[in-house]
Amino acid sequence: MNSTDGYIDKAGSSDFGAVLILAHGAGAPMDSPFMELLARQLAVQGVTVVRFEFPYMQKRREDGRKRPPDRAEKLLAAFVNTVERVSATLSPDQALYLGGKSMGGRMASLLAADTHLKGVFRGVVCFGYPFHPPGKLDKWRLGHFDDLWCPVKIQQGTRDPFGKLDEVAAQSMPGRVSIDWLEGGNHDFLPPKKLDHTQDMLIGQAALNAATFMKTLNQG
């Protein structure tokens, strides 16, 4: 794949057969610093990462003009297209997973509620799930969670304005959804300076948690 189609971050010697299609968030491309570091850390943990861009971000790359995200239907269609292309290349000893940063993770979770895709991939990992718009606790994005047909693992900063620890803890989550909380992290996993860990460390922890989740499913 080239920069127009996507990036592939190959797992190293610790490869355990997991292939993760990783989607970007609403405002930053597939090669943002966050996405670059996350993909590298996942590869270190033995995950092959395939990054791609939604149509609106591809247009931004071409002409430099910022655009709002496409409608959900168009985002999901682009995600499914990537799933079809990648799944056609997998060997029998590889298992497919979907995931993404913020909006990308939400789109991945929506595909996990689509019964037409049941069995195509094994699970979903979300990095900074947008549970609700910041400050709008009356607009939770959980409506599809009861329809999930595969496990979903969420990596969430405890200070994330899209879903803080106390806010999310008050919600009822189905058994297929589990959350790893990253102490002090905001939506980009950046902690306050007073803590003794850094954004890079939290991204590394999120990658380790996600890889452990996939490895456990592979062994199940």
Q: What is the structure's pLDDT at 1?
A: 39
Mean per-residue pLDDT of the chain: 96
Q: Which letter, b or e, does each residue of 128-158 get, where b requires 16 or more Cβ atoms within 10 Å of its Cβ?
A: bbbbbeeeeeeeebbeebeebebbbbbbbbb
Q: HSE (CB half, 13 Å, CA atoms) of 176?
A: 17
pTM for this model (two decimals): 0.96
Taking only the tens place, the pLDDT of each residue in 137-188 is 999 999 999 999 999 999 999 999 999 999 999 999 999 999 999 999 999 9
Residue identified by tokens 């395939």 is 50
Q: What is the pLDDT of residues 6-30, one digit of tens each?
A: 899 999 889 999 999 999 999 999 9
- Structural domains present in the chain: 7-219 (3.40.50.1820)
Task: Give the Cα separation of 206 and 127 in Å (integer).
Answer: 8
Determine the Cα–Cα distance for residues 191 and 204; give it in Å rounded to an integer.
13
Q: Which residues pair with 125 in a beta bridge?
A: 99, 153
DSSP run (H or E) holding 50: strand 47-52
Query: pLDDT tens digits for 49-98?
Result: 999 999 999 999 999 999 999 999 999 999 999 999 999 999 999 999 99
Angle at 208 between CA 24 and CA 58, to 5 degrees: 10
